[in-house]
Structure 1
C-alpha cells in the first residue's frame, strides 16, 4: 500500500483565505479555527504528504479496497467500453468518508482535541463517529431534516457509533434552505460554547481531500497496465472526484497523459458548471477560513435531498482544474441518477447510495458516446435501505 498521499493544493496555492480580510490566511490565524496539525496540512505546499505510521496501520486494516470490472452493467448499456469500479463501500463506514475520518481523528487526537463537532447529511457523521471512538474523542453531529427524512437510519447509526446527534430544522438559523449552511452554523455556535471542542467541516478543505487521494493511487496500481480513458467522480464538495482522479490528474498535468476527468453533479446543485469564482465558506459567521473557489448562492430546490452532493462550495483544486480545462462536467436530474443506480443494482447485484447514482449516470453517458475505451469510477458509498422508486 502507498505510504504517501497526493497534495493537490500544491497546484493551487494561495486559495485559503482569512474569513474577514479575504486575503491569503496566515498560519497563526488559521490555527484559530483548525487544530494545529490540520492547519499545517491546509497550507502545505509539498506535492506529497506521508501517512503517519499509526494511520498506515489503520488503513491497512481495510485497504486496498476492491476494484472490479462491471461487465454486466457495460453489457446492459450496449457499450464496447470496459467499466472498472473502485469499491469504497468496503470501508468500515461503508463509504469513502472513512479515509478522511481516520485522518482527521488521528490528527485531532495528536493535538489533544476532546470533542469534534461537525455538520453532516449522514455518511460523514457515521464515519467520523467510528473513527473518533478509536482515539477516545467525543463527536457531536448536526444533520438537516431533509437528510433525516430521506435516510432515517443515519441518526441511529451515528448514535450507535457513539455520536451525539442534533437535527437542525430549515428555518432555525436564518440561512434560507441550504441544509449544510444551516447545520454548519449550528455546529459553529455549539463549538464556541464548548472548551476543548473543535469544529471540523466534513468536505472541501485540504485536510479532508488529502486522505481521499489514496483511492485513485490504489486504483492506478490495481489497474496495472490498463490506463483509463475516462475517470468519473461525483461532486458535491469534491472529495469523491479528487480522490479517484488525483493520481490521473497529476499524470495529465505533469506528463500530458490522455485522460478525461468527468465531474458528475446534480442539476439542483451544479456547483462546477454554474458556480462562480469567489471567496466562500460553509458558515456565515466569519469563523472558518474562506476558499478562493466556485460557489453557488443556494441549492436550486427547496429542502431537497440529493445525497452527498448538496455542497454550495467546492474544493479549490476542482475550481482550478475546471478553469484550466482539466475537468469537464456532466449534470443530471434525480431520476437519471436513480435509474442508473437501479440498473447497476439489477446487473451487478450492488445497491449504491444516491450520490453514486449520479456517477453511474455519467458513466452511462460516456459509455454510450464511445465505441471503446476504459472508464474508471468509484462506488463512494453503499445504499443500504435505499429505494430507487
Structure 2
C-alpha cells in the first residue's frame, strides 16, 4: 500500500499530553532574581494555553471549532510509503513518511497555530505576535489569524528574511505583518542593531522582540511555534493519526525520525508512540535529527537557560548552546535555535531519544534523492530526518533486518529552492 488515509471522522478529538506519563518529573520553569518572567506569563499568553502548559492531564479535548478548521485545512494527513526510495537504496526496510507538507502553508505548524489563535481570540485578543525562522511558523500563524479574525505581527530572522522572500509573500497574502529581526520596532532590536547593523538575527532574538511587542500592547498576546509544552501537545495530532494509520496495515514503527529545532514536529509525532514505549507495548527507536551547525542535543548542556536572547522568558531545563548563541546562516532556518523543548530534552536525558547531527551538504543530498525517488521536494529542515532515515535503511541493508522506519515529513521545500540551487551549483558550505 502506497498511501494510508483516514476519514474526516477519524480526526483526533483529544490531544495527548505526555506530561502524564513521563518516567521522571519534568523540571519546572523557574523565576529569576532579576525579573518576574513567570508573573508576566498571563500578560503574554492566553489563560487557556497557560492551563495546558501546566497540565498533567493525559488527554485534553480539542475544541469543536479547532477540529472544524483542522478538517478545513486537510486533516487527517496521509501516511505514505516511500517505495521509490526503498528500491533505490535496495533495503529490506520499509520507509513511511507522514505528509505534514500538504497543509495550505506547507508544514505541520498549522496544528498549533489554529489552536493558539482560537484560544487567544476566546481570551479577548485582537492581535498576535510571534517569531519565525524559515517562515513556516509565521505563515501558519498568519493564516490562522486570518481564518479566525485576528491581526498578526511576525518577527522573521533577518538571514531568512533575505534568503526566503516568498515566505514573506505568503505571510502578506494572509495579511500578516512581517519585520526582519533584529528590527527597529522594539527596544531590544534597536540595541542589537546599534551593536551590529548587519546582524543575521536568531530565533532567540526574534522571540525577544515578539515578546516585548506583545507585553507593551494590552490587546495582543504572544505565541510560540515550538518549545513549550502546549505547542507540542497540539502537534500530537500527527502521532495520533499515524498510530491509527499503522494499525490499518497491522504494522508498527521500529524507528521514528524527525528533525528538531525547538522540537514541535518531532514531539508531536513521537509522543503518542513514546506512550506505548513507556508502557512496554512498543519497541521503537526515536531519533532526533539536528543541524551540525546548531548541535543543541548532541553538544549542548542540559541545564536551566532562557528561551530567548534578552532573557524575558522564565528559565527552562533543556539542552542549550547558550541563549546568546548565534548559529551560522544555514538554509534550515527553522532549526537555528539554541535550545530544545524541555519535554524532548528530558526524554533525551533519560536515554529514550537519541540526537543525530547532519551537515548542510548531506541534507541537500538527501533531499535531492528523495525528490528523485518520491517526487516530493522536502524542506531543508525535513531533509535532516530523511538523511538519518536513509542511514538507518542502509544499516538494515547490511544486517538484513526488515524494520519499519517512519519519517515526520514536516514541510515541503518549494519556497526553499535557493538552497537547493546553491547545493546544485556547489556553493554550500558544511
TM-score range, shorter chain: over 0.9
- Relative to structure 1, the CA distance from residue 85 to residue 173 in structure 2 (aligned partners, 3 Å threshold; closer, same or farther) is farther
SS at 2:363's partner residue? helix
> CA separation in 2, counterparts of 1:73 and 1:125?
31
| Contact 2:111–2:234 (8 Å) recurs in 1 | yes
Between Structure 1 and Structure 2, the one with more helix by share is: 2
**How do 1:370-385 and structure 2 match up within 5 A?**
370=396, 371=400, 372-385=402-415
> CA separation in 2, counterparts of 1:157 and 1:55?
22
1:296-319 per-residue CA deviation (whole Å, 9 max, x = no partner) reads 125574333323111111111111
Q: What's the TM-score once normalised by structure 1's chain length?
A: 0.94
SS at 2:44's partner residue? coil
Say what the alpha-carbon RMSD is for the aligned residues: 2.2
Number of the residue aligned with 1:111: 123
**How do 1:219-238 and structure 2 match up within 5 A?**
219-224=242-247, 225-238=250-263
- Relative to structure 1, the CA distance from residue 188 to residue 24 in structure 2 (aligned partners, 3 Å threshold; closer, same or farther) is closer
| Contact 1:115–1:198 (8 Å) recurs in 2 | yes
Report the Cα offset of residue 110 of structure 1: 0.8
> CA separation in 2, counterparts of 1:74 and 1:22?
54
Number of the residue aligned with 2:8: none
| Contact 1:17–1:25 (8 Å) recurs in 2 | no
> Which deviates further from its counterpart, 73-82 or 274-283?
274-283
**How do 1:61-72 and structure 2 match up within 5 A?**
61=72, 62-72=74-84
Number of the residue aligned with 2:18: 8
Does 1:272 pair with 2:297?
Answer: yes
Report the Cα offset of residue 30 of structure 1: 3.5
Report the Cα offset of residue 29 of structure 1: 5.6
Number of the residue aligned with 1:134: 147
Does 1:204 pair with 2:227?
Answer: yes
Number of the residue aligned with 1:329: 355
SS at 1:272's partner residue? helix
Report the Cα offset of residue 8 of structure 1: 2.0
**How do 1:27-38 and structure 2 match up within 5 A?**
30-38=41-49
Dislocated runs of 4+, deviation >3 Å: 12-16, 21-26, 173-178, 298-305
Report the Cα offset of residue 93 of structure 1: 1.5
> CA separation in 1, counterparts of 2:33 and 2:233?
26
SS at 1:257's partner residue? coil
Which residue of 41, 45, 53 maps to 2:64? 53
Number of the residue aligned with 1:349: 375
**How do 1:171-190 and structure 2 match up within 5 A?**
171-172=192-193, 179-190=202-213
| Contact 2:205–2:309 (8 Å) recurs in 1 | no
Which runs of 5 or more structure 1 residues have no equivalent in the other structure? none
Does 1:304 pair with 2:363?
Answer: no
User: How many residue pairs align between the two structures?
Assistant: 388
> CA separation in 2, counterparts of 1:333 and 1:144?
21
| Contact 2:117–2:141 (8 Å) recurs in 1 | yes
- Relative to structure 1, the CA distance from residue 212 to residue 162 in structure 2 (aligned partners, 3 Å threshold; closer, same or farther) is same
Report the Cα offset of residue 333 of structure 1: 0.2
- Relative to structure 1, the CA distance from residue 148 to residue 177 in structure 2 (aligned partners, 3 Å threshold; closer, same or farther) is closer
Which runs of 5 or more structure 2 residues have no equivalent in the other structure? 1-10, 184-191, 425-430
1:118-171 per-residue CA deviation (whole Å, 9 max, x = no partner) reads 110201010001011122111000012211232111111111111111112494
Which residue of 163, 166, 173 maps to 1:150? 163
1:70-129 per-residue CA deviation (whole Å, 9 max, x = no partner) reads 000111122110001110011122100010110110110110111110110201010001
